[in-house]
Amino acid sequence: MSTSGATDAVMAPEPEPPGGGEERPLLDVRNLHVEFRTREGIAKAVNGVNYSVHAGETLAVLGESGSGKSVTAQAVMGILDSPPGFITQGEVVFQGRDLLRMGGEERRKIRGARMAMIFQDALSSLNPVLSVGEQLGEMFRVHQGLSRKEARAKAIELMERVRIPAARERVKQYPHQFSGGMRQRVMIAMAMALEPELIIADEPTTALDVTVQAQVMDLLAELQREYNMGLILITHDLGVVADVADKIAVMYAGRIVESSPVHDIYRAPAHPYTRGLLDSIPRVDLKGQELYAIKGLPPNLLHIPPGCAFNPRCPRAQEVCRTDVPPLYRVNQERASACHFWKETLDDDSAPSGDA
Ligand SMILES: Nc1ncnc2c1ncn2[C@@H]1O[C@H](COP(=O)(O)OP(=O)(O)OP(=O)(O)O)[C@@H](O)[C@H]1O
Ligand code: SF4
Ligand SMILES: [Mg+2]
């Protein structure tokens, strides 16, 4: 396959699901580009992202800080900070329609009702001077025209659904009176209120301690199954996603560098960056051993290195990596990797494990 030395990566569409992909995805993000026009220059935050989510499916989006996970999500939701952020190319096809070509009013109706977002920091996302019940109830008053009393009843029902104990009493309380985990449940309830088809959860449990993290993640996964929602789960943490995700998209410098069903990626990654992320997971069986860390830092998005953006940090880099942007190679029907040496990477990992 030929490679391109141009600054923009050659983008193959994401592999179709098995069976020829006759089922239309709920969300199909195609060749999305976002840049931030700043005083220092143009930061290329998202450089041709392709991903899709079907109803009832969970896509985990992984990558180090600054790789463009949140900016992609903001562009999908229509909440990108603009200016300085601009979508310069691409499509965000939701239920068959490109959101980027919709009017503001129509877009607003979809946001919240058909697709909703959960953020990491519930305390700053909730209004501190309104009770939790008022905030939940507002969703129903605004979108469904319910009375105050009806809205409150719905709020209590929702709080019970996300298993907040003593919902009837707690509905009158303010966000600061809730623990971190309970506040995150309130956020989930807000997102679920209008029974959206898609939820984007951006690091929903990062601010919580480990046991509470697991409970909140379990709740999210359970609701997702119950309502057959599409879920995009953004996280740093490969450890968290193994149990909940169906497939993974790994981001680096604003590109998806590997996409794969979840189990295949753990078995044998097809991209050296994914390998590095996997090796950075703390393992109980290797207690006491020094934790692996990918050397170096993510690139400055004002000056993304030519060729493969990962090349300055990649243990496998060759000359071609410094000159030619790797296209998104199709590994098989369900997997893709943006690495010139994806075959070798895959072969290494398929071999019996040893110290590399
Ligand atoms: N408001 C902004 N102005 C300028 N640049 C921005 C802005 N927001 C994001 N960026 C740029 O976009 C890049 C990607 O940011 P993004 O928030 O998507 O990263 P992320 O992958 O979500 O990281 P994290 O894991 O830390 O949340 C940042 O490194 C930054 O350069
Ligand atoms: S293309 Fe080259 S530098 Fe990039 S990940 Fe593959 S081997 Fe490493
Ligand atoms: Mg983020």
Each residue's pLDDT tens digit, 7-36: 334 445 555 444 444 589 999 999 999 999
356: pLDDT confidence band, cut at 50, 70 and 90?
A: very low
Mean pLDDT of 104-110: 89
Does residue 6 or residue 272 have the better pLDDT? 272
pLDDT at 230 over 70: yes
Beta-strand ranges (E) seen in the chain are 27-38, 41-53, 58-62, 85-94, 97-98, 115-118, 198-202, 230-235, 247-252, 255-261, 329-332, 335-337
pLDDT band at 5 (very low <50, low <70, confident <90, very high): very low
| Per-residue pLDDT, 216 | 86
Ligand 1 in reach of 124 Cβ (< 6 A): no
Q: pLDDT value at position 355?
A: 41
The CATH superfamily holding the domain 27-123+197-347 is P-loop containing nucleotide triphosphate hydrolases (3.40.50.300)
Report the pLDDT averaged over residues 191-195: 91
Closest ligand 1 atom to Cα of 63: 21
Ligand 2: residues with CB < 6 A are 271-272, 308, 310-311, 314, 316-317, 321, 326, 339-341
Helix (H) or strand (E) holding 164: none
3-state secondary structure of 157: helix
Task: Identify the pLDDT of residue 3.
Answer: 40
Locate 82 and state its tokens: 């603009």
Higher confidence at residue 288 or residue 102?
Answer: 102
Which residue is closest in CA terms to ligand 1's atom 29? Answer: 66
Pocket of ligand 1 contains residue 300 by CB under 6 Å: no
Which pLDDT value is given to residue 353? 43
Measured from the alpha carbon of residue 68, the closest ligand is: 1
Q: How far is the CA of 185 from the centre of ligand 2 (A)?
A: 41
pLDDT at position 287 is: 61
pLDDT over threshold 50, residue 83:
yes
Q: Output the residue whose Cα is nearest ligand 1's atom 8.
A: 71
Q: Does the pLDDT of residue 301 top 60, yes or no?
A: yes
- The dihedral through the CA atoms of 183, 187, 190, 192 has a sign that is negative
Judge whether residue 125 has pLDDT over 60: yes
Tokens of 303: 């000056």
Cis ω for the linkage preceding 84 (within 30 of 0): yes
Tell me the two tokens of residue 346. Answer: 């895959």
3-class SS shares of the chain: helix, strand, coil, % to 5: 35, 20, 40
Name the band, by pLDDT with cuts 50, 70 and 90, for residue 284.
Answer: low
Q: Residue 6 pLDDT > 80, yes or no?
A: no
For residue 177, the one-letter residue type is: Q
- Would you say residue 241 has pLDDT above 60? yes
Least confident range from 64-68, 336-340, 352-356: namely 352-356
Mean pLDDT score of the chain = 88
CA of 7 to the centre of ligand 2 (A): 15
Q: Give the domain ranges of the chain.
A: 27-123+197-347
| Distant-in-sequence, close-in-space partners of 56: CB < 8 Å, separation ≥ 6 | 224, 225, 228, 229, 230
pLDDT computed for residue 101 by the predictor:
94
What is the pTM for the complete model shown?
0.89
Q: Which atom number of ligand 1 is nearest to the Cα of residue 203?
A: 27
- Find the mean pLDDT for residues 177-197: 92
